[in-house]
Chain A
């Protein structure tokens, strides 16, 4: 379990930084959800963000994807500041995400869901569509083909024309990933992708995440399933009460006494 991730971690340690959080503080009134968090995610790694409930993990996702503007500090993506940027521009810049609670477009087909993601880089506007300009047809075709490809990639191409909400739970999670991949992200944020999955589904999810990385994307995930986290992550960061508690390879983090304490504490609050 410890062997291979460490090798990979070593291989990627020299890779350039893709996402940098610099002293990020996110306060909601008196509640400080993130307190001077510094994180660097390097290109091509699978990076896991763990921590007890309420530690600020989803807040971190929301800060990175532009849902929140940080109270102070900077977020840089590929060297460019993205804090305070419009959400759809962050997506266009190459950051895509899934949601902790599935938020598909429930009454659209699976394929249409993915096509919305793919549309992020399309440019057809009202005039092009109404006049039936060549680029409109080109983009429609591209959307459909790429959409089917991505559904195939996540393993649900047989459900392409089913309404999203009629898919089984695990497939909905996969569809969310496909939709996010549609935006062609350099960095993919997965918010508890394994939640509610059975062991077999988790296993294939793990493979999917690896394949996404092998496609040249960087993956940042929030996950509570320690087995999964320890197995696929190159590096792990632990958040607790908005503070960065520890960071390192899975085995380093596992041995860290502060982390053990936080998790024993987590056991006591039994959430």
Chain B
């Protein structure tokens, strides 16, 4: 009568067999030093942490220096590359990380929010002559609403189905832009306003001010998502990612929090679009292809889904590597692909994974599970009788 209670546990995780594989891979030198760094970080006093923050920001500010650029980007203007693609990708990756890494919802149409942010600035800036900052606020509101509009009907779906619908959403936005004359159709919108002068900096053709604006936005986005992560909101997202049914039965309004994840991700993605459009001066539908969604997702997964520093490193590499190796022009996508395949084969949890995500991957249900066929374990467990 009692036997099947224990054996039916095809979660495979509950009964001791998951023993300590949370940190098992520390034999790998990279993870080993990462773990040591993380332990140090966890125990570091406040002033040391602030020291690191300040050092990072100072580092970001001196990054455009020519002597760094000479190595990092010999072919193109380094500051421009730092703004786009590197900065834009990083910001988008931080946004997508909220959706994919924290809440475990696979979104393949993230570029839609980037496009909506860019088009908000372009449209309101050119049609109504609104100033950059005003449209930034409007743009944020519009992208948040669009996140909710996408989420409300689709978040009842899970895993693969959600991925397909979001992919469709990304395409819908691009194709709609392509066919709406009001926003320029396939020709797009030109003369998108630059941001007004700030701190004596003119936002014109010099990429430096845009880069600093991008750094400020990224810092803001980091604070934003980090604060959410360690709050009730982040805990609820983690619970949803791990076991949506159990989370709801523990009082988590899962639908509301999933919507919130979409909205927050959308806001950050939209910010990236707005800031980018302020520099690019020109937006058109073909700036927002599906491949950009895929690239940002790759950045998140490659860097270590759920871990902010990892995700940013991932985005940096994805943006920078193809720029750096322009000399091999025709082959660089091939190399790029090969590097990705290698990395995913050797380090499926990403370069700098969060500990929790590493554990989820190691046990085989959570990792790709919470990326794709989310919570495969519990819902396929016949004994639970919880899935409707």
Contacts and interface: CB of A to CB of B under 8 A. Distances in A.
Given A107-B356, A166-B22, A179 B250 contact: yes
A103 B243 CA distance: 8
Interface stretch (A94-102, A151-159, A198-206): A94-102
Interface string B260-281: 1000100000000000000000
B323 interface: no
A195 B2 contact: yes
Interface stretch (A119-127, A207-215, A237-245): A119-127
A138 to B, nearest CB: 11
Interface in B1-40: 1-6, 8-9, 11, 13-16, 18-20, 22
Interface string A108-137: 100010011101111011101110100010
B64 interface: no
B98 to A, nearest CB: 10
Contacts of A23: none
B251 A124 contact: no
A134 to B, nearest CB: 13
Interface string B338-380: 0000000000000000001101100100100000000000100
B385 A169 contact: no
Interface stretch (A1-9, A39-47, A84-92): A84-92
Contacts of A116: 235-236, 239, 247, 250, 252
Contacts of B386: 62, 67, 99
B228 interface: yes
Nearest to B224: A130
Nearest to A131: B227
Interface in B114-147: none
Given A62-B385, A101-B383, A119-B236, A169 B231 contact: no
A146 interface: no
B2 A163 contact: no
Contact of A165 (B3, B14, B234, B235): B14
A92 B251 contact: yes
A73 B384 CA distance: 23
B254 A88 contact: yes
Contact of B239 (A87, A99, A108, A192): A108
B202 interface: no
Range, interface on chain A? 35 or more
A129 B252 CA distance: 16
B254 A107 contact: no
Interface residues of B, number: 56
By CB atoms of chain B within 10 A, which of A128, A130, A143 has the most?
Answer: A130
Interface stretch (A52-60, A74-82, A227-235, A250-258): A52-60
Interface string B226-238: 0110011111101
Nearest to A119: B232
Contacts of A99: 246, 384, 386
A124 B250 contact: no
B196 interface: no
Contacts of A125: 233, 260
Interface of A: 52-53, 58-59, 62, 65, 67-68, 86-88, 91-92, 96-97, 99-108, 112, 115-117, 119-122, 124-126, 128-130, 132, 136, 139-140, 143, 163, 165-166, 168-169, 172, 179-180, 182-183, 192, 195-196, 224, 266, 271
Interface of B: 1-6, 8-9, 11, 13-16, 18-20, 22, 223-224, 227-228, 231-236, 238-239, 242-243, 245-254, 260, 264, 356-357, 359-360, 363, 366, 378, 381, 383-386, 388
16 contacts: A68-B388, A100-B5, A101-B8, A101-B14, A105-B239, A106-B14, A106-B366, A107-B22, A108-B356, A112-B235, A116-B239, A117-B250, A119-B252, A165-B359, A179-B250, A180-B250
